[in-house]
């Protein structure tokens, strides 16, 4: 039985399996990638930062904790070295995020890049003093080019590398994120609500556009809004509970993966108002597969998914107000329905999980040659 070892930073929250998984897009990707290997007859072990040495099973996949180690320039050299030692006998290593590659990758290996993550003014390393920036991007260059293959979920990252370090993109391959179009599907029964319902299926962070969404909630009291997501810290979730008390047209809750299809079928539209650090959003694809029109920003890999005016609308938050775009969209139900149908067809033809699995297997075969 071939073996695969996957290195990530966090899968279980705070490095503690008792806290449960984070339920972000990255975690869904990890679960599906591990299932892919498992279904192909591989033995899979996921390594992550832990609060201690521990080993648990998740969905038939072994997850092992490596005691908490320190980050340096967003990399974790000790975590990387320990993983390389523990996974030395594996047939394939997968570095699940670029910053886990430093300072060394061991072949055969694949790195996964989930999109550019430093594309905002507040990033202290990318916008710090010259010596800091130089070292930061030296490590990024290694992280994005060292593995035998670098699977990129969007074209934005590949184009940035091509423009910045021409020729260094040669090992990068575009495999966009996925959605199971048999699970995420349109609502078939008539709606049982009267007021328009708009969904924000994202983590509660400013980079994911939570502030812009809440501004729209305040400006559109005649529309019901739903937020489904976890905060990075517990206080974020306490804050959301208090905000819901202030806005009567806002509902917020958390849901595990397998309950999300019903959530998408209970709304009229989805909003992906990302400010920065975005790939090809899983929640955007899930909304498309559920035949929802999507209002998104032209950030990261979102333009790989949303064609402005075709299956959704792209809004530049530096020049436009989200609530104005939403109001214009919600006033045209026939247009919304047509956008939803187009998005569903795009998801089925181009982004279905079975297509994603086939592309991943092809890359694995090429690397193992």
Say what the pLDDT of residue 273 is. 96
Say what the pLDDT of residue 58 is. 87
Distance, CA of 260 to CA of 268 (rounded, Å): 15
Instruction: Profile the chain (369 residues) by mean pLDDT over runs of 10 residues.
Output: 94 82 78 94 94 90 90 95 96 96 97 96 94 97 97 98 97 97 96 95 88 94 91 66 84 86 97 95 97 97 97 94 96 97 98 98 96
Read off the pTM.
0.93
Residue 362 region by backbone torsions, left for phi larger than 0, else alpha for psi between -120 and 50, else beta? alpha
Superfamily of domain 197-350: Glycogen Phosphorylase B; (3.40.50.2000)
Say what the pLDDT of residue 183 is. 97
Instruction: State both tokens at 290.
Output: 């559920």
DSSP string covering 180-237: -TTTS----SPP---S-EEEE-S-S-GGGTHHHHHHHHHH-TTSEEEEE---SSHHHH
Radius of gyration over every alpha carbon of the chain, rounded to an integer in angstroms: 21
Say what the pLDDT of residue 311 is. 97
Q: How many CB atoms are located within 10 Å of the residue 190 CB?
A: 5
Say what the pLDDT of residue 114 is. 96
**How many Å separate Cα 218 from the centre of its chain?**
27
Say what the pLDDT of residue 235 is. 58
- To the nearest whole number, what is the mean pLDDT of the chain? 93
**For residue range 219-258, what is the model confidence (pLDDT) as tens digits?**
999 999 999 987 665 556 677 778 878 888 999 888 888 8
The answer to whether domain 3-178+353-368 and domain 197-350 are alike in fold is yes
Say what the pLDDT of residue 22 is. 66
Say what the pLDDT of residue 298 is. 97
- 57's enclosing H/E stretch is strand 54-58
Say what the pLDDT of residue 8 is. 93
Say what the pLDDT of residue 231 is. 66
Q: How many CA atoms lie within 13 A of 352 on its CB side?
A: 12
Instruction: Indicate the fold that domain 3-178+353-368 takes in CATH.
Output: Rossmann fold (3.40.50)
Distance, CA of 284 to CA of 294 (rounded, Å): 7
Domain boundaries, the chain: 3-178+353-368, 197-350
SS3 for 78? helix
Say what the pLDDT of residue 236 is. 65
């Amino acid at each position: 039985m071939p073996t695969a070892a996957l290195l990530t930073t966090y899968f279980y929250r705070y490095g503690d399996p008792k806290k449960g998984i984070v339920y972000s897009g990255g975690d869904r990707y990890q679960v599906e990638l591990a299932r892919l290997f498992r279904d192909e007859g591989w033995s899979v072990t996921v390594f992550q930062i832990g609060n201690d040495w521990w080993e648990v099973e998740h969905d038939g996949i072994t997850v092992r904790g490596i005691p908490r180690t320190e980050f340096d320039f967003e990399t974790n050299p000790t975590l990387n070295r320990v993983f390389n030692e523990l996974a030395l006998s594996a047939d394939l290593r997968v570095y699940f995020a670029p910053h886990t590659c430093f300072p060394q990758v061991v072949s055969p290996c694949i790195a996964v890049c989930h999109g550019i993550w430093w594309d905002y003014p507040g990033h202290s390393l990318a916008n710090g003093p010259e010596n800091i920036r130089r070292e930061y991007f030296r490590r990024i260059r290694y992280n994005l080019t060292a593995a035998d293959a670098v699977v990129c979920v969007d074209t934005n990252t590949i184009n940035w590398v091509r423009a910045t370090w021409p020729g260094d993109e040669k090992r990068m391959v575009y495999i966009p994120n996925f959605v199971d179009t048999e699970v995420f599907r349109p609502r078939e029964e008539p709606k049982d609500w009267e007021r328009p319902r708009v969904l924000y299926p994202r983590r509660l962070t400013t980079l994911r556009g939570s502030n812009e969404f809440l501004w729209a909630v305040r400006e559109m009291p005649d529309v019901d809004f739903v937020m489904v997501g976890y905060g990075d810290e517990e206080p974020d979730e306490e804050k959301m509970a208090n905000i819901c008390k202030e806005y009567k047209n806002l509902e917020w809750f958390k849901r595990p993966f397998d309950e999300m299809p019903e959530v998408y079928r209970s709304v009229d539209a989805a909003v992906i108002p990302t400010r920065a650090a975005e790939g090809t959003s899983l929640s955007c694809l899930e909304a498309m597969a559920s035949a929802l029109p999507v209002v998104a920003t032209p950030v990261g890999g979102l333009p790989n998914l949303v064609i402005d005016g075709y299956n959704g609308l792209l809004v530049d938050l530096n020049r436009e107000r989200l609530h104005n775009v939403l109001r214009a969209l919600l006033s045209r139900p026939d247009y919304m329905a047509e956008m939803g149908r187009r998005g569903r067809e795009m998801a089925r033809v181009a982004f279905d999980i079975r297509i994603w699995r086939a592309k991943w297997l092809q890359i694995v075969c090429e690397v193992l040659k």
